[in-house]
Amino acid sequence: MSEMYFTDTNGDGVGDVGQADTNGNGVADSFQVDANFDGYAEILSQDVDENGLIDNIQIDTNLDGVVDTAGVDVNGDTVLDLVANPATGGQFVTPTAPAPGPNPGLGDPSIIGGGGHDPLIDLIPFATPGQVDQINDIFDSRNDAIENILDSDDDDD
């Protein structure tokens, strides 16, 4: 497994968003996010087929080291096909609620780079209020990371 590389999205000197190339082929395929900036990655995700889209996600909302909510995109359409959390008894179920519209205050977080659908959106109908807050924090962290990357100019021009 390769080293996890972190980006400090809030400027506190601690990496909040990490990525790694676990199979060594040069493509990042494993990601983690410290959404509440406490030094512990609450969100883990993978791009198993390395197509730039998240295939599965795991969230530890109460910081006990055990995954509380998990989601899997089985068919690669960027929509979570299976979700498991305490409300489902820890069993993976097919989400039946329609995907929610844009989240107020976040613009439209369901559209990410390249226009893909963000699977985190599909977790919202099954999330506790605390989990929804963490998902919103993830969007904020991701947007901060993108802004920091765009603001940094390291091409010596």
Kind of pairing between the strands at 17-20 and 30-33: antiparallel
Check the CA dihedral 121-127-133-134 and report its sign.
Answer: negative
Q: Measured between alpha carbons, how far is residue 40 from residues 5, 16, 60, 61 in Å?
A: 15, 9, 10, 11
- Residue 37 CA to residue 53 CA, distance in Å, equals 24
The CA-atom distances, in angstroms, between 90 and each of 38, 45, 69 are: 26, 18, 8
pLDDT, tens digit, for every residue of 38-61?
Answer: 888 888 888 888 888 888 989 887
Instruction: Give the CA distances from residue 55 to residues 15, 30, 45, 48, 79, in Å, rounded to whole numbers and listed in that order.
Output: 23, 10, 7, 6, 9
81: domain range? Answer: 5-151
- Whether 17 shows a pLDDT value over 50: the answer reads yes
How many domains does the chain fold into? 1
Say what the pLDDT of residue 118 is: 61
Q: Where does the chain show beta strands of DSSP type E?
A: 5-7, 17-20, 30-33, 43-46, 56-59, 69-72, 82-84
Q: pLDDT, tens digit, for every residue of 65-100?
A: 888 888 898 888 878 888 888 878 888 888 765 445
What's the pLDDT band for 108 if we cut at 50, 70, 90? very low
With respect to residue 156, please indicate whether it lies within any of the assigned structural domains: no
Q: Is residue 11 part of a domain?
A: yes
Cα separation, 75 vs 40, whole angstroms: 30
Token pair for 150: 């765009």
Say what the pLDDT of residue 140 is: 74
Say which DSSP state 142 is in: H
157 within domain boundaries:
no
